[in-house]
Amino acid sequence: MTHDEPSTRPEAEAWFLAHGLPYFVDPIREQVRRRLARGRLAVVVAVGLLLAVPVAVAAGWLVHRADVEGAVSTGISVGATVLVAVAATYAVRALRVRLIGAWAVRQTLASLGLLFPLATRALPMLLLFVTFLFINTEVWMVASALDGGILWGAVMLFAAMAAGFLVVRLVEEVDRLDDEIGREELGDDADVVGLQRTNLVLVLLITQAFQVLLLALAVFAFFIVFGAVAMKEEVLVAWIGGDLTYLWGIRPISLELVQVSTFLAAFSGLYFAVYAVTDETYRREFFSEVLGELEQALRVRVRYLRG
């Protein structure tokens, strides 16, 4: 981020938008506040249910018609996914989360240098643990027996737990960083509350969620390769008590291998989320950069309010 601070109100608004802080712009913040009114949110929920219920019923019916187990769980998981998709679409378009997410992704890609040391500290112990699970008979029996709906539900549960943990810790970090910004020069205008505080938390949440996703995908790819190379078909057949199902006839990547890898990668994502905000070295490096970003944002905000 450049440290050339804008001097006029239009320049400040453009600076906020370019740095993923749309809620710091007064007209946008008021617009978002109106779109978060109970009546508007009730309409979004109603639209989500109108779409989710028939899609869930159709998905369950198709699974039942195909004589495959898991019609109910598939319907519930698909319905929940549609609800999340409707809420995400509303947030991205109406609540300007697209601007926040775009900047957060760029920031993540620019700070990959912090991600690699984190991975080198977190991955060894994690891989030692999950690799032991990966070559465990019971894990293959349980994971391979899960139907698609339950597996996807488990992935969403892990994601929700990780997001909830990150939100709680990141709110604390934003408050701590806000307290560290000098008040003598900026005065009471530096206090970050309401939607502006939410904006900062969303920036941090999306940034770290993207990092967690990258690491989880790396674990998934590792187990797909490891399983294809090291796990023999006759051993897996004995473990799961039946024949393997190969996706599109591609050997040796079986549906069971994908299911086990997906389950362990989702668990690893939850582990990474917890580790990222509890590892002192990472927090010190990551939030030292954020502190500089936040301080500049507050200085621009003070000029914006006084301009």
**Domain spans in the chain, listed from the N-terminal domain onward:** 136-306
CA-nearest of 303, 19, 24 to 187 is: 303
Long-range contacts of 41-46 (CB under 8 A, 24+ apart): 44/86, 44/87, 44/90
CA distance 163 to 176: 20
Answer yes or no: pTM beyond 0.75: yes
pLDDT at 1: 42
pLDDT at 2: 46
Report the chain's C-alpha Rg in angstroms. 23
pLDDT at 188: 57
pLDDT at 160: 92
| pLDDT, one tens digit for every residue, the chain (307 residues) | 445 667 788 888 888 988 889 998 989 999 999 999 999 999 999 999 999 999 999 988 888 777 667 788 888 989 999 999 999 999 998 989 999 989 888 877 877 776 677 677 777 777 787 888 888 888 888 887 888 888 888 899 999 999 998 898 888 878 777 676 655 555 555 667 789 889 988 888 888 888 888 889 988 998 999 888 888 888 888 888 778 888 767 778 888 889 999 999 998 899 888 887 787 776 766 666 666 777 788 778 777 777 6
What would the DSSP string read from start to end of 139-154? HHHHHHH--HHHHHHH
| Four-point Cα dihedral 199, 200, 202, 207, nearest 10 | 140
pLDDT at 134: 86
